[in-house]
């Protein structure tokens, strides 16, 4: 399937975050907002003021936008809405990690996770409902793709998280969300247009104002889209490598059959703007007796020899029925040592939010299970319909 066919087949509903007949403003590009106001006879600087209220201050009520004329506020209230997706569940871990199950008007759900650290707060954002890639260790991979998220739904995850964390205005010093990683559910490069539109909203200096260096897009390796992502968005790139041979990667990351390791590494080497100060992150999930030997580590070092890289070792987060186990701490350390000795930073990711099922796709799956159980309970109560 071509990128375009894929985008058409899995397109989000329009409007995504509507308020009945009123048009949603969150998710419009800066140009679209300016054009919308122009059709109402308003100059471009009004669009800038409105943008600052929406993305700089997190304001959702037109009535509170005090530097806009009362007549304009009234017109905006009639025709538009500054909406948020619904929070289906809000879970907080004892380690400070927060996770939201986010529900859209058509009932579809995704997850977003906030991970606070001493020097930053990272929001992990989803790009699709489900995923087509069927990576064998990933729980989202067991859920079929339902659809792409629209830009409004991607941006909506951040707006909702910042509401929940009291993280407005954008200009405050100790922001709760300083970094965004497109590492939630879905493959962002299979929903490029919507992801790009959302990231441009995150980057805009009059609003959310995140720098390119604070945004990371993680891909399983959609090679033809990698260059474009670097040229057009210039965000950091993370690549889910997970295996050092095509033989193994074909199995655990089936996208590898389409874009094998050599092509992927070439795209990484050529990623626009990459250098030793701006490295590509290679994500490597540690699977016991599958990809975690010292020989694997040596092969990994050889693979990335020509790429400014760092390696992020991720202890496998097991889920019920998973066909793998996590490597032992000793073998993870041994692996990290080989990579480090070759001169690459190789931090081991600390699992966060285990008590709230913060691993990819787990909460969503639990929600689907609950719904099935609820449906089952209802079916048991209801008499069979009379034909």
In the set 218, 281, 327, 365, which binds ligand SAH (CB under 6 A)? 218
Q: Which residue of the set 109, 111, 153, 283 is catalytic?
A: 111
**Which of 76/125 has CB closer to ligand SAH?**
125
Give residues 182-211 in contact with ligand SAH (rule: CB under 6 A): 183, 187
Q: Are 135 and 360 spatial neighbours (Cβ–Cβ below 8 Å)?
A: no
**Which of 61/228 has CB closer to ligand SAH?**
228
Cα(58)–Cα(68) distance, integer angstroms = 16
**Nearest distance in Å: CB 295, ligand SAH:** 21
Give residues 246-285 in contact with ligand SAH (rule: CB under 6 A): 283, 285
Determine whether 360 is an active site residue: yes
98-103 β-sheet, strand order: 86-92, 98-103, 109-117, 120-124, 179-182, 215-219, 236-240, 280-286, 309-315
| Site size with ligand SAH, rule: CB under 6 A | 17
Q: Which residue of the set 124, 138, 229, 360 is catalytic?
A: 360
Q: Is 179 in the site for ligand SAH (CB under 6 A)?
A: no
Query: Facing residues of 238 across strands?
Result: 218, 281
**Nearest distance in Å: CB 357, ligand SAH:** 11
Show the tokens assigned to 187. 């493959």
**Nearest distance in Å: CB 119, ligand SAH:** 22
Taking the alpha carbons of 252, 253, 254, 259 in that order, is the dihedral positive or negative? negative
DSSP state of 27: T
Cα 134–chain centre separation: 17
Show the tokens assigned to 86. 């619904």
**Which of 51/137 has CB closer to ligand SAH?**
137
Q: Are 155 and 201 spatial neighbours (Cβ–Cβ below 8 Å)?
A: yes
Neighbours of 6 (CB within 10 A): 16
Q: Is 220 in the site for ligand SAH (CB under 6 A)?
A: yes
* Ordered DSSP codes for 155-206: HHHHHHHHHHTT--STT-SS-S--EEEE-SSS-GGGSHHHHHHHHHHHH-TT
**Nearest distance in Å: CB 317, ligand SAH:** 4
Binding track over 304-323 against ligand SAH, x by CB under 6 A? ----------x-xx------
Q: Which stretch binds ligand SAH (CB under 6 A): 13-21, 88-96, 213-221, 377-385?
A: 213-221
**Nearest distance in Å: CB 24, ligand SAH:** 26
Cα(207)–Cα(55) distance, integer angstroms = 4
Cα(324)–Cα(288) distance, integer angstroms = 7
In the set 100, 104, 137, 282, which binds ligand SAH (CB under 6 A)? 137
**Which of 301/357 has CB closer to ligand SAH?**
357
Give residues 350-369 in contact with ligand SAH (rule: CB under 6 A): 359-360
Cα(151)–Cα(157) distance, integer angstroms = 10
Catalytic residues: 111, 360
Interface contacts to ligand SAH, rule CB under 6 A? 135, 137-139, 183, 187, 218-220, 240, 283, 285, 314, 316-317, 359-360
């Amino acid at each position: 399937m071509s990128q375009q066919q894929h985008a058409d087949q899995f397109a989000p509903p329009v409007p995504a975050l509507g308020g009945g007949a009123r048009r949603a403003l969150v998710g419009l590009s800066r140009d679209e907002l300016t054009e919308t106001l122009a059709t109402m006879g308003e100059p471009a600087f009004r669009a800038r003021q409105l943008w600052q209220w929406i993305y700089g201050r997190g304001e959702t009520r037109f009535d509170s936008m005090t530097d806009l004329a009362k007549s304009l506020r009234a017109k905006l209230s009639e025709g538009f809405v500054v909406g948020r997706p619904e929070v289906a569940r809000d879970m907080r871990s004892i380690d400070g990690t927060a996770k939201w199950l986010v529900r859209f008007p058509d009932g579809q759900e995704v997850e977003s996770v906030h991970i606070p650290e001493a020097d930053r707060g990272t929001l992990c954002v989803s790009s699709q409902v489900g995923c087509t890639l069927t990576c064998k260790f990933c729980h989202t991979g067991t859920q079929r793709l339902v659809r792409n998220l629209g830009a409004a739904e991607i941006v909506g995850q951040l707006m909702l998280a910042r509401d929940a964390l009291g993280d407005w205005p954008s200009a405050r010093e100790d922001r709760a969300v300083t970094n965004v990683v497109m590492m939630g559910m879905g493959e962002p490069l299979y929903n490029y247009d919507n992801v790009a539109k959302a990231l441009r909203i995150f980057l805009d200096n009059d609003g959310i104002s995140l720098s390119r260096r604070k945004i990371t897009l993680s891909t399983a390796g959609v090679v033809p889209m990698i260059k474009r992502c670097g040229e057009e968005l210039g965000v950091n790139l993370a690549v889910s490598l997970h295996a050092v041979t095509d033989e193994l990667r074909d199995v655990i990351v089936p996208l590898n059959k389409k874009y094998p390791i050599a092509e992927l590494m070439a795209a990484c080497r050529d990623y626009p703007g990459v250098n030793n100060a701006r490295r590509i992150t290679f994500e490597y999930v540690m699977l016991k007796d599958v990809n975690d030997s010292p020989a694997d580590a040596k092969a990994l070092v050889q693979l990335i020899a020509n790429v400014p890289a760092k390696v992020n070792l991720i202890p496998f987060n097991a889920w019920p029925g998973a066909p793998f186990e996590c490597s032992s701490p000793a073998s993870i350390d041994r692996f990290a040592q080989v990579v480090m000795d070759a001169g690459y930073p190789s931090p081991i990711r600390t699992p966060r939010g285990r008590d709230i099922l913060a691993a990819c796709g787990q909460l969503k799956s639990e929600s689907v299970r609950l719904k099935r159980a609820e449906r089952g309970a209802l079916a048991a109560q209801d008499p069979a319909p009379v034909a």
